[in-house]
Every structure is written in C-alpha cells, then in structure tokens.
C-alpha cells in the first residue's frame, strides 16, 4: 500500500511537468516558420583556427552546415596556420560560397 501511495505521489508531479514542458516546447519559434523571425536573425561569423586538421576539419564544417540556422545568415572563416597535410584540400572540397580560407603570413605562427 505504501509503495502504491509513493508511486501516485511521484506520478502526478511528473505528468504535470511533462505537460508543462510540452507547452513550453510549442512556444519556441521555428526559424523557417515566420518571415519576420527570419529577417531579425543576426548575421554570424564562425571563425576556426586550423593547422594539420585534415582528419577533423571536414566533420567540423559538416556539423556547422547541418545546423538549422539559415545558410545565408552566417559565414565560416577558416584560418590555416601553415598546414602540412591536406587540410586546405578538405576545406576547398566543400565548394560553399560562405566559406573563406585565410592563410597566415610566413612570419606568423600558432593558433591563438
């Protein structure tokens, strides 16, 4: 009997909490739903410092592109720090107009 009472006491707040979360979730605006929400989104610059990141840079760029944020509202700037592997080739394989590659000058070294 005690176990049933404890279960009921815990179940009622849980159901109320789930209903509250469901209502709050529906109030979150969808980026593609309303044009005025879309127009008020800020333009974002994503800056990535990379050196010899051929194994990781492709996944990084893919994860950024896969976001729900509109692609015309952000740019990706990748600074190559004298990579000796195929990092630049991986970046260039994406062929996106909002990806810019900057190469550090010969006298500047280090991801800062």
Question: pLDDT for 45-99, tens place per residue?
Answer: 999 998 889 999 999 999 999 988 888 899 999 988 888 899 889 998 887 778 9
Is the entire prediction scored with pTM above 0.75? Answer: no
Going from the C-alpha of 80 to that of each of 32, 66, 67, 87, the distances in angstroms are 33, 22, 23, 8
Mean pLDDT across the chain, nearest whole number? Answer: 84
Task: Give the single-character DSSP code of 74.
Answer: E
Supply the pLDDT for residue 62: 92
What domains can you pick out in the chain, each with its CATH number?
Answer: 34-103 (3.40.50.2000)
- The percentage of the chain sitting over the pLDDT mark of 70, rounded to a whole number, equals 88
């Amino acid at each position: 009997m005690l176990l049933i009472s404890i279960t009921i006491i815990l179940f009622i707040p849980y159901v109320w909490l789930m209903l509250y979360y469901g209502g709050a979730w529906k109030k979150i605006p969808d980026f593609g739903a309303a044009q005025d929400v879309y127009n008020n989104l800020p333009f974002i610059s994503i800056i990535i410092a990379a050196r010899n990141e051929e194994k990781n840079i492709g996944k990084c760029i893919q994860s950024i592109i896969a976001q729900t944020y509109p692609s015309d509202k952000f740019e990706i700037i990748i600074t190559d720090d004298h990579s000796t592997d195929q990092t630049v080739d991986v970046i260039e394989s994406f062929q996106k107009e909002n990806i810019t590659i900057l190469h550090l000058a010969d006298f500047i070294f280090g991801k800062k």
